[in-house]
Amino acid sequence: MLRLFLTGTAVLMALASLSVAQACAEHHGAQHEVVGVGKTETVEIGPLRMSGFYALPTPPATRNGAIFLHIENAAQHADRLISVTAAETAQKVELHTQTIDASGIMRMRLVSSFEVPPNGALTLEPAGDHIMLIGLKHPLEAGKTLPVTMKFETAGERTFQIPILAPAGDAIRSDDTAVQHEDHSHH
């Protein structure tokens, strides 16, 4: 089992989660059907319907990024997200679960797949399960998109563009501010 203590990234992600709902609301306000122009609403693979996908922008020195999305499964059987590749953007891509332990430390854990339950849904979101981009080849820039290929055990694979959305309110401004904020929040 691989346990990661990527506190810097975790703190940034925790901060980002404060404003993500707003960013998503803005994103969902626009209706576009064209895949790959940064305003994509849904992508379907067989009975799987992916929506609300985005990545957060990263500061220049940041090594890792994360992708979030919602996956609905209309089938009577479960499926599994078994791999994600983003070769243009990151050296590798991992599937991570994220929990907060008893002492308030965020822990990310590498998993081999995410289950999408039958007639159910899987939501990857900040401070929860997520797709992690490891070793960014360039910073994630708000307003751009990054291509990913998501592969499911049963439904197969699909390549599409993930929009990079700036969180509203400038939550990600400086690592120092983020760390201090995190310290105070646990007193």
Contact set with Cu ion (CB under 5 A) = 96, 108, 132
Round to whole Å and give the CA distance between 149 and 157: 7
Question: Minimum distance from CB of 133 to Cu ion (Å)?
Answer: 9
CA triplet 181, 136, 134: central angle to 5 degrees? Answer: 75
C-beta of 133 vs 155, nearer to Cu ion: 133
Question: Minimum distance from CB of 111 to Cu ion (Å)?
Answer: 10
Is the distance from CB of 94 to CB of 140 less than 8 angstroms? Answer: no
| H/E element, 160 | strand 156-163
Bridge partners of 135, per DSSP, are none
Question: Minimum distance from CB of 36 to Cu ion (Å)?
Answer: 25
C-beta of 40 vs 64, nearer to Cu ion: 64
Nearest alpha-carbon partner for 80 in 48, 43, 40: 48
Question: Minimum distance from CB of 35 to Cu ion (Å)?
Answer: 26
C-beta of 23 vs 132, nearer to Cu ion: 132
Q: Which two tokens stand for residue 18?
A: 């404060």
Residue whose CB is nearest to Cu ion in the complex, by number: 96
Question: Minimum distance from CB of 42 to Cu ion (Å)?
Answer: 25
C-beta of 23 vs 95, nearer to Cu ion: 95
User: What are the phi and psi torsion angles at 112 (to 5°)?
Assistant: -85, -20
C-beta of 81 vs 155, nearer to Cu ion: 81
